[in-house]
Amino acid sequence: MTAEPSPARPTRLGQNQYGKAEVRVVRVVRDGDTHHLKDLSVSVALSGAMEDVHLSGSNAAVLTTDTTKNTVYAFAQKHGIESAEGFAILLARHFVTSQASIHRARIRVEQYAWDRIGPQETGHSFVRDARETRTTEVTFDGAHWQVVSGLKDMVVLNTTDSEFRGYLKDGYTTLPETRDRVLATEVTARWRFSWSGDDQPEPAWEETYPQVRGHLLAAFAETYSLSLQQTLYSMGARVIERTPGVDEVRLSLPNKHHFLVDLEPFGLKNDNEVYYAADRPYGLIEGTVLREGAEAAIPVTD
């Protein structure tokens, strides 16, 4: 008796990836009495010819996530960590070129800042810096690179030079117009480099980060803001205009509202001096600024 063929399943495997998330690695370089510190969280995501492991459970094409973790630590020792971007590029190249089943690697890095205690150029004592976290995401498919660097959790505030008026109003509008307000936000910024192949010289990663950070801060401080959207565009545009190797900047700016406290019940005048800071709900302003002729490639959401 001939067995009846199994009916075709009404499903197919879509996009998939696997890897190790948030591998914490701290690298110390000891130069005599002067030590240098790099503190990273590295996440590895790999994809490629992985159909069998999903459809039949065969692990023959799978490089274990424990191996990816060990590779991060080994590469930190063998190659050092000159920059978050450079370290991510080394890892991505290794995973794609060393295993036939791996066709694409995405390496995400967060870098945490430490400041020296005492003399700025010497010593071995550090204090964790409470400022923003540096980020990078490197993707490699065996031929093309995409490097998106950035920062998050950078809180900035202007006490004046910000208005908000002339907006649409309907029956549910209660917000009064203002010609002088506190403007505050917590910046998440990502910028994509035009560098995409080994036939091009790599950008100066360690020099570019403070330059872009400085442009973001300068634009925020120097823009007379009629809206947070206008400020966002000014920040992204300044980076594009003054950083030749950057083609795209994506910004996410939650509006950290500061409202004047009503002190009239106490017989006191509040002349833009006393505010309360509201953390929820908040307006969320997001946008992308592109170099003319460039295509958007940074995802809107992760």
Q: Which residues are annotated as a binding site?
A: 65-66, 164, 181, 229, 255
Catalytic, out of 35, 65, 79, 288: 65
- Tell me the CA distances in angstroms from 53 to 11, 44, 57, 73, one per residue in order: 16, 18, 4, 26
Rounded CA separation 286/193 (Å): 20
Query: Can 94 be counted among the known catalytic residues?
Result: no
Residues 6 or more apart in contact with residue 257 via CB below 8 angstroms: 184, 277, 278, 282, 283
> 79 catalytic, yes or no?
no
Known binding residues for urate are 65-66, 164, 181, 229, 255
In a 10 Å sphere around its CB, with 0-12 CB exposed, 13-18 middle and 19+ buried, how is residue 37 labelled? middle
- Active-site residue flag, 20: yes
Ramachandran class of 161: left when φ > 0, alpha when ψ lies in -120 to 50, beta otherwise: left
Catalytic member of 38, 94, 215, 257:
257
Contact in structure between 119 and 126 (CB atoms under 8 Å) = no
Binding positions for 5-hydroxyisourate: 65-66, 164, 181
Residue with tokens 């950057």: 246
Q: How many CB atoms lie within 10 A of CB 42?
A: 28
Give the annotated binding-site residues for O2: 65
Q: Which residues have a catalytic role annotated? A: 20, 65, 257
